[in-house]
Each structure stands twice: as C-alpha cells, then as structure tokens.
A and B are shown apart, each in its own frame.
Chain A
Amino acid sequence: MNKARLVFLAATSGRVLIASLLVIAATPKLLDPASFALSVANYRLTSPLGNYVIALWLPWVECAVALALLVSPPMARRGAWLLGIGLSGVFLIAVATAWARGLDIACGCFGGVEKISLGDVLLRFALLAGTIGAAWSDQASARTSARA
C-alpha cells in the first residue's frame, strides 16, 4: 500500500469519525430541543434569545456539517471543516469556562446528565485537536489526489 493510499484511508476514516460524532451529538438535541434549551441556558453565556436560537439551530448545523463531510466534494468540504473546527472550539470554551466557574451543570454535549468535570474539558480539547487533524489530513489527501 503506497503512501497516498494510506493518507486517503486515514483522511476518509477521520472524516467519517467526525461526521459520526456530530450526528451522535446532535441526536438527543434534535429529539428534545426544550431540554437542550435548558442545558444551553445553564451555561449562562448568552442572552435568552441566544439560548433559544442555539437550541434550535445548533443541532441542525451539526447535522449539516456531518452530511457535508460525508457527501460533498473536497472544495465544498472546506466549509464543513471550518464549521466543525469552529463548533469544537466553541464547545471547548463553553465547557472549560463552566468547569472553571464551578457550575453544577450537565455538559449537554452528548445528552448526558453528569456534572461537568475536568475530564469533559480534556475530551472537548481532544475533539478539537482531532477535528483539526482530520481536516488537515482530508484536505492534504484531496490535494494529493488532485495532483495525481
């Protein structure tokens, strides 16, 4: 197996993994937007209108990004990666600041009800790093394919 093939397989695996995680994260939010609105409000980071809009819009953005990662061509995937990295960064900031403030709240990230811990912060950091890595490998793979 040559290097280009390995890069392609790694990039595709990373892309599918990130898309799957986004769908898994979005599902409980889509099933119960009212509860997700509560979770968003618990962070005390945005206005009431902001909480409402986030609760309705964010899960569908996650789904749209996941779908684009799976089916769109490399150039169009750039937008999905940009949003994916942005979402991961926002989630990391939200969870880290909630943990730092000692808020006794659930993450709301994947539908769990456990109180936010340092482990959640580290997990979000790992997800951000993983998303950036997957984006880089996917785009590098696409560039290699275009040259071939």
Chain B
Amino acid sequence: MHVSGKPDSWFATALRPAALLLALALLPALATALWHPKRPPPQAAQTANSVGHPNQSPQLTLAEIRQEPRFSQALWIDARPPEAYALGHVPGAVRLSEAEWETSLPSVLDRWQPEIPIIVYCSSTQCGTAQSVADRLRRELGYDHVYVLHGGWEAWLP
C-alpha cells in the first residue's frame, strides 16, 4: 500500500511497529502458557484426532470395538449433520452435535446408562466433530468411557 506516495515507504515504516506489537503479545501469551487454567498442554494439538488435551477421548478402530465385549452394548452417538444421519447411521445411534447440544443431549441421556461406554463418530478421518463432541460429553458427564470411532462412518461401511 503506497498511501504516503513513496513506493514501499508505507510498508517499510509499518514493519517496526508491527514487530513491536508481536513482541508485546508474546508476554501475555507466555503468561497464558504458564498460568491459564485452560491452557493447552505443550504436546497439545498434534492432530485433530490426537490432541493431548486432559479431557480428550481416545480413538478406537472398528476392529478394536468389535473385539471388546463391553462395547457390544455401547451407546453410539452420530455427530454428523442431520442429512447425513438420515441417509444412514450405525443402528441405534443417537444424533448429537455441538450446534444442537441443548436440544439433543436429553435424548442421549435418556438412552445412556452410566456403566455403558459411549462411542462417537462423524464422517471420516477428516472430521473433527466427533472428537469435540466426545470430549465435551466426557467433561460434562464426568464419564471416562467416551470414545471416538477412528475413521468415522466411512470405517463403519463395508
């Protein structure tokens, strides 16, 4: 942008204050890393599906789920959009998304019993909604046996 009329002068004179602002923002960022009650752990954010968040729900493959007898009674949660759910879903799965949390959570709680595990899935390995829904369930229910189906609906399909 050459507002001053001299080519590159605007940009050149903007660089120093920009660097100063970046440096100033570093201080509270450091404080956040050290003292914020909801600070991400340093190993956080490795990928969408394997973040080292304290309340992160582990991922399981379909083979792992089928091998474990305790998952035979699991409550399945579908975190995909309603139109995807309407086209097909895991038998017995209940829809729940963060966008419709307040309205959909009661139907999940009606079906859930504290001793049965919960497995959340979304569309594929590319989606992150199942992880966020599972993590939120884990936090709000205070229940550790909440899992994410690795690969989502695509993994379920034959």
Interface band, chain A: 35 or more
Over the window 77-104 of chain B, the binary record of Cβ atoms lying under 8 Å from chain A Cβ atoms (1 yes, 0 no) is 0001100000000000000011100000
Q: Which residue of A lies closest to B53 (CB)?
A: A34
The answer, yes or no, to whether A21 is at the interface (CB within 8 Å) is no
Q: Which chain A residues border B39 with CB–CB below 8 Å?
A: 33-34, 56
- Distance between Cα atoms of A83 and B126 in the complex (Å): 31
Contact between A37 and B44, CB atoms less than 8 A apart: yes
Interface residue count on the B side (C-beta < 8 Å): 53
Q: Which chain B residues border A79 with CB–CB below 8 Å?
A: 14-21
Contact between B38 and A34, CB atoms less than 8 A apart: yes
Contact between B53 and A38, CB atoms less than 8 A apart: yes
**Interface hit among B25-33, B60-68, B107-115:** B25-33
- Distance between Cα atoms of A48 and B40 in the complex (Å): 11
The answer, yes or no, to whether A92 is at the interface (CB within 8 Å) is no
- Distance between Cα atoms of A51 and B39 in the complex (Å): 13
Taking the closest CB of chain B, its distance from the CB of A92, in whole angstroms, is 17
- Distance between Cα atoms of A24 and B39 in the complex (Å): 20
Taking the closest CB of chain A, its distance from the CB of B108, in whole angstroms, is 17
Partner of B13, one of A75, A102, A135, A136: A75
Q: A44-B47, A68-B17 are in contact. Are A52 and B40 (CB under 8 A)?
A: yes
Taking the closest CB of chain A, its distance from the CB of B103, in whole angstroms, is 14
Partner of B45, one of A40, A106, A114, A140: A40
- Distance between Cα atoms of A105 and B81 in the complex (Å): 12
- Distance between Cα atoms of A14 and B42 in the complex (Å): 37
Q: Which chain B residues border A32 with CB–CB below 8 Å?
A: 38
Over the window 42-74 of chain A, the binary record of Cβ atoms lying under 8 Å from chain B Cβ atoms (1 yes, 0 no) is 101000100110011100110111001000100
- Distance between Cα atoms of A31 and B129 in the complex (Å): 20
Contact between B21 and A42, CB atoms less than 8 A apart: no
> Which residues between 125 and 145 of chain A lie within 8 Å of chain B, taking CB atoms?
132, 135-136, 139-140, 143
Taking the closest CB of chain A, its distance from the CB of B145, in whole angstroms, is 21
Taking the closest CB of chain A, its distance from the CB of B61, in whole angstroms, is 19
Nearest 6 interchain pairs by C-beta: A79-B17, A51-B45, A104-B127, A79-B18, A78-B14, A37-B40
Question: 28 pairs across A/B with beta carbons < 8 Å?
Answer: A35-B38, A36-B40, A37-B40, A40-B45, A41-B44, A48-B47, A52-B42, A52-B45, A56-B30, A57-B29, A60-B25, A60-B29, A78-B13, A79-B14, A79-B15, A79-B18, A79-B19, A80-B17, A83-B18, A101-B126, A104-B124, A105-B128, A106-B128, A114-B99, A132-B1, A135-B1, A139-B1, A139-B4
